[in-house]
Amino acid sequence: MKKQLTWIALGAGLMLTNACTVISAQAQEMSKETKDLLHPLFSDNAVLQRDRGISIWGWTKPGTTVAFQFDAQKQTTRAAADGRWTITLTPHAAGGPHSLSVTGADGETATRRNLLFGDVWLCGGQSNMAYDLHGANNPEAEIAAANYPEIRLLQVPDNIRAAPLQSFEGAGWKVCSPQTVANFAGVGYFFGRELYKKIKVPIGLINSSWSGTPGESWVSGPALATMPEFKTAVDALEHSEDAQTVYAKQMVAWWQTNDAGSRAHQESSNFDDSAWKSIEAPGFWEDKGFADFDGVMWFRRVVEVPADWAGRNSHLDLGSVDDSDTTFWNGAVIGATTGWNKPRNYTIPGAQVKAGRNVIAVRVLDTGGGGGLAGPALSMRSGNESVSLGGAWKIQQGSDFKSLALMPKPIENPNAPVVLFNGKIAPLLPAQIKGVIWYQGESNSDNHTESRQYRTLLPLLVKDWRAHFGAQTPFYIVQLANFKAPDDAPSNDPWPNTREAQLQTSQRLPNTPLIVTIDLGEEKNVHYPNKQEVGARLALSAFTNTYGAQVESSGPTFREVKAINGTLQLSFDHAQGLNLKGDVNRVFAIVGNDGKFAWATPQIAGNTVTLHSPDVPEPIYARFGWSNNPRAVLFNAAGLPASPFRTDQLPN
């Protein structure tokens, strides 16, 4: 998987040099927040939450008397010292259409029409939520059939902010049609469509998601600061003028702690690289002797600079680097870039260009897929002259990605803590919603540190959103689907640990149903296309857990384990018609006191599965589907799958 990286491993000097420019640009951008007479939640075609008192708000000149009319109902209020005004509508039943109008300072008027009361659902998460209908099965047919005038769609624009926004700019609510649905969140649309068919009331869908983002980006500052590992980053946001300096120092410390090459100053022009291997560049290192390696790799090359180039600005072209690089010339940082598809064109200041021997060092961090100096060409240019840098480079393997501690993240990127809560959730407040559907976790599953951290982070996020949207807000969690190559032997991958965090959150917090998708994914595609089934399972679960329907909406759930005569007997709830599909002899694993897991043979009888293995004569613990991509799935008669689980609490 090529994870979308949005942080950058910069050298401290470059980061500190650019800090003032970055902060200045951010300050200018933050000053652009628009506050209209009516908040954009209340555009034409909006859906308002039925059966509740609804706040409606906006901004005008401080102290202005605001006249508000909803249908034939009239009321007035006065704008506060910050210009904000608020009125409250009495509860309304589902239906419409309705209209409203507001008059503020200097006769400014806003009118909104075709408003409906219904149920409003917030769709949050990362790419598997963000992917639109073009990434789903049968996109052309699905888009053409999307004629649902009582389903309304609102896209929250992308904003990265150090402080909470109060509003946003956007196109407002759209009536669901083939002309409006194509670029909306696929999972969100399919959920809303199926739910509408079941409950027959207007549905409002608010899409506030962002591909490749971790959970910590979506938590508010005060809540996230309760996790010690994030407190420094949250504190830096409160003093955003210092945030870049803080980040630069964090990165220097991170590299010194996590990469032996940085500790040994391998970027120095005097470093002895005689023991390093050679590699032909450009190209991916996986094809040149470093198969399956993800992490830090150091490249070095001596460049003989012509005498007439000395003292003149020169230009280095490294093509693209997969994924991120920090590039040094004679030990000094000259550039750094994140993104495998971005060109590296760096200027070497003339003061650093000397005749004769010079050294280029490139620190490359790859997090998945191909890695290295990918090309297509490598060269150095001065004036109209150039020299090729293709051919032999020295190379030295650094830290494995799985062993690296979590990197600090700068605030101007969507992966930084808090910034997406501030930019994409805070502007919605204090909106009334029916519930949340949440699909996220891939970006918290790169290693065991992240997946363990998610056990605390996910329930914190749920509680935080409920503190803002209402303590009883339903929060539906889509569990990570199957992905990557299946395990040949029982193992302990990061993804099942993240799934366990999602399962535990669902079990420990009220009104947080889990939607299991362990049968829908694909080995080589993290963005699997069957978003229709994800939406259908979400709607089925909501139909039962939020709307009270008496239908089966859960897959088998593990109840208890018993050791009986050298076997383990697992019992399940929601287990009518219990059945396994797939490679049934390589999905359950058991372990004895020696700590060595072995595949177990399962036997199903009623609501129980009995496990045994000749390699584990006295089993004490069992695991089911404990893999990135389990080889079999346990279903019930409703065709719904069981979540992967384990009966042990062994260290992971």
Q: What is the pLDDT of residues 595-616, one digit of tens each?
A: 999 999 999 999 999 999 999 9
Q: Locate the domains of the chain by residue range.
A: 40-137+146-220+418-545, 260-403, 557-646
Q: What is the mean pLDDT of the chain?
A: 90
Question: Binning pLDDT at 50, 70 and 90, where does residue 245 land?
Answer: low
Q: What is the pLDDT of residues 478-518, one digit of tens each?
A: 999 999 999 999 999 999 999 999 999 999 999 999 999 99
CB-CB contact of 412 with 26 (8 Å)? yes
Which of 627, 629, 620, 581 lies closest to 604 in space, CA to CA? 581
* Count of alpha carbons within 13 angstroms of residue 52, beta-carbon side: 16
Query: Cis peptide leading into 202, omega within 30 of 0?
Result: no
Helices then strands, each counted (H, E), the chain:
12, 34
Mean pLDDT calculated for residue range 244-263: 76
Query: Cβ contacts of residue 455 below 8 Å, gap of 6+?
Result: 500, 501, 504
Question: Binning pLDDT at 50, 70 and 90, where does residue 410 land?
Answer: low
HEC string of 454-504 equals HHHHHHHHHHHHHHHHCCCCCEEEECCCCECCCCCCCCCCHHHHHHHHHHH
Q: What CA–CA distance (Å, rounded) separates 533 from 540?
A: 10
pLDDT, greater one: 600 or 404: 600
Q: What is the pLDDT of residues 107-156, one digit of tens each?
A: 999 999 999 999 999 999 999 999 999 999 999 999 999 999 999 999 99
CB-CB contact of 613 with 592 (8 Å)? no
Q: What CA–CA distance (Å, rounded) separates 188 from 148?
A: 14
What is the CATH topology of the domain spanning 40-137+146-220+418-545?
Rossmann fold (3.40.50)
Query: Cis peptide leading into 294, omega within 30 of 0?
Result: no
Does the reported pTM lie above 0.85? no
Residue 377 scores a pLDDT above 70: yes
Residue 28 scores a pLDDT above 90: no
Task: Look at residue 371 and give its three-state secondary structure.
Answer: coil
pLDDT of amino acid 5: 29
Q: What is the pLDDT of residues 449-486, one digit of tens each?
A: 899 999 999 999 999 999 999 999 999 999 999 999 99
Q: What is the pLDDT of residues 171-222, one digit of tens each?
A: 899 999 999 999 999 999 999 999 999 999 999 999 999 999 999 999 999 9
Classify domain 557-646 by CATH architecture.
Sandwich (2.60)
What are the strands of the beta sheet with 356-366, ordered from one edge?
277-281, 391-400, 295-305, 356-366, 324-329, 332-338
Classify domain 260-403 by CATH architecture.
Sandwich (2.60)
CB-CB contact of 6 with 415 (8 Å)? yes
pLDDT of amino acid 8: 31
pLDDT of amino acid 555: 98
Q: Which pairing describes strands 203-209 and 148-155: parallel, antiparallel, or unpaired?
A: parallel
Q: To which H or E segment does residue 342 belong?
A: none
Q: Which of 19-28, 252-261, 321-330, 417-426 has the highest mean pLDDT?
A: 417-426
Q: What CA–CA distance (Å, rounded) separates 566 from 346?
A: 66
Compute CA distances 339 → 179, 199, 250, 411, 548, whole Å.
Answer: 32, 44, 21, 17, 47
pLDDT of amino acid 17: 32
pLDDT of amino acid 246: 67
